[in-house]
Chain A
């Protein structure tokens, strides 16, 4: 009701997010310490090469691995993380993990961001309308197809798209982000980039559209049976006024929650699709790091994924408070 209640509410949400973030970091630390294998041995070339006990000991000394895990190594890890130091990659010798991630992040954000925006606009509009006109032609069409899209794994969708639109029809490239050589000039390479982007974006967006249609339709079908919609009708409002003034915002409550939670997956959401299209994003980096047992890179990526989901939850909580006055207390 008053500003005090609202700022207390926001403060609580932020503190909760910070605590969660700390837990994510600690779990991430533990996860990579319980994985079998000696990092010192790995650093020296893995199990296949023969190294002396002295060499291993020297490595341990060098990287602080001989110190106790708790609290020394944990504190080191946390304080380095806070400073933005995520360590060095095993595979890309001498490169900072943070640099590697930052290098790959834009490609993923562009891919999943565009897919999200497209899916939000199409999915929410279709879902809201289908729920408003339940049993109509669009509703019957949208409900069936959106469930199908929602339940289709995106990597499978990606492969089907490649088979149809790349291999068979040859309309779009199915591999990478740029055509090697040949294309020059800003406009030319920009259009080339867009052509490479089309299929991966479609693969990610189709599943999301299904998800948004299902959720938006369900939310709208609930809203149209609410008593306040009868009141709106009794007040002499037209169908359009009822939809825009009374139904839309209420139906958007669960949809906005879903959208903001999905923001957390902008970073992680396309790992399999990126792998299919060899898209040079975080997903590709994850697969490379997995194959190379590049634990520091994986640890950095996991932290990023965890953090983005925590932040998305924070945004969801704040957005919900803005839209629904009932949760502000």
Chain B
């Protein structure tokens, strides 16, 4: 009994996934050999700067890759089954029923000419086969669930505040009882107080409904607030993966360390934000070896020639040559 439950495949298993965008004969690799697993009910933050591949990773999982994207390697398994992520029509049944997305800036993500109740009820009718009446009743429940009086359902998106619109977006994401919710910078356009409320709501709903959450953000403090685990991405690769507590207490990858140091922290008396030197990598013509080596303070000779693999280190994973030897030592000690 126990052993069989341990062998149960993870909810989501991404294996060596690489996605290219065709750029007139010069494909640029958006994500490169991304591997991770997501357990049911787990909350993972996906952190990185623009162009790090966090959104492409999430869109691949949701089956929302754009037509000019190509999966060149790897696969995504959902409950053990391989997802046809590069086949738009075959992914349709998976969308929203299993994985739904809370998009950023809910103003434009909601259709301006339809009442919000209609937009929430729509997937219930189309995907769950509910009648209009049933779907409307479900939409009213969902509105109450995210803290909006059901009577506000007749409002149009432009009549609501940014925070309310993001609540509507969350209600909509819950409509078909998915197992995974992807938050694509869900709090980016909101003020800090509303941001905190939305994150709190997401956290509550997650534990109440047993949802897995993938939170895409460039803001580490958002991750700290509502995730168990965090994966740091740089130039299309995961460079570090660990629990939130570990990563904040002991960041291993130099990039992670610099990211954490760049967060302004008034409590520590630090007045200046320390930026990470150098420019984000060019994805068409990426640096050799470790993509971070031109900006890395701990750069070694090997970094320019060899791509570090994402290896187990301690309880997490890190892709950095600094931890190569120590990891081997550890293995040796254990052996």
Contact = CB atoms under 8 A, between A and B. Distances in A.
A325 B101 contact: no
A325 B113 contact: yes
A233 to B, nearest CB: 6
B281 to A, nearest CB: 26
B100 A250 contact: no
Nearest to A229: B111
B78 interface: no
Contacts of A231: 101, 103, 109-111, 172
B158 A236 contact: no
Contact of A234 (B95, B105, B110, B159): B95
B109 A228 contact: yes
Interface in A271-287: none
B248 interface: no
Contacts, number: 69
A54 interface: no
Interface in A109-130: none
Interface string B107-126: 01111110000000011001
A134 to B, nearest CB: 11
A227 B94 CA distance: 20
A276 B7 CA distance: 84
A232 B126 CA distance: 11
B109 A227 contact: yes
B96 A246 contact: no
A96 B159 CA distance: 53
B156 A230 contact: no
B92 A236 contact: yes
B110 A228 contact: yes
B64 A234 contact: yes
A124 to B, nearest CB: 17
A228 B97 contact: no
Contacts of B110: 228, 231
Interface in A216-238: 226-228, 230-238
A226 B111 CA distance: 9
A236 B96 CA distance: 6
Contact of A230 (B92, B109, B155): B109
B111 A234 contact: no
Contacts of A241: 126
Contacts of A237: 122, 126
Contacts of A246: 111
A326 B158 contact: yes
A226 B114 CA distance: 15
B93 interface: yes
A235 B122 contact: yes
Contacts of A245: 122
Given A1-B155, A230-B103, A231-B103, A236 B95 contact: yes
B62 interface: yes
A230 B94 CA distance: 15
B94, B113, B159 pick with most chain A CB within 10 angstroms? B113
Nearest to A1: B159
A236 B124 CA distance: 11
Contacts of A326: 112, 156, 158
A245 B123 CA distance: 12
Interface residues of A, number: 22
Nearest to A245: B122
Given A1-B155, A236-B127, A250-B113, A227 B64 contact: no
A76 interface: no
B298 to A, nearest CB: 40
Interface residues of B, number: 27
A323 B62 contact: no
B64, B109, B159, B172 pick with most chain A CB within 10 angstroms? B109
A69 B113 CA distance: 51
A227 B184 CA distance: 12
A235 B113 contact: no
A9 interface: no
A91 interface: no
Given A325-B113, A325-B156, A227 B105 contact: yes
B112 to A, nearest CB: 6
Interface string B143-158: 0000000000001101
A25 B101 CA distance: 57
Interface string A294-328: 00000000000000000000000000000111100
B94 to A, nearest CB: 8
A324 B113 contact: yes
A236 B93 contact: yes
B90 to A, nearest CB: 12
A195 interface: no
A104 interface: no
Contact of B108 (A1, A227, A233, A235): A227
Contacts of A60: none
A324 B112 CA distance: 8
B111 A228 contact: yes
Nearest to A236: B95
Interface in A56-100: none
A1, A246, A325 pick with most chain B CB within 10 angstroms? A325
B220 to A, nearest CB: 25
A325 B158 contact: yes
B95 A227 contact: no
A228 B95 contact: no
A52 to B, nearest CB: 70
A233 B113 contact: no
Contact of A236 (B97, B108, B109, B159): B97
24 contacts: A228-B108, A228-B109, A228-B110, A231-B101, A231-B109, A231-B110, A232-B111, A233-B64, A234-B64, A234-B95, A235-B96, A235-B122, A235-B123, A235-B127, A236-B123, A236-B126, A237-B126, A241-B126, A246-B111, A250-B112, A324-B113, A325-B113, A325-B156, A326-B156
Interface of A: 1, 226-228, 230-238, 241, 245-246, 249-250, 323-326
6 A-B pairs with least C-beta separation: A236-B95, A227-B108, A325-B156, A228-B111, A236-B96, A235-B123
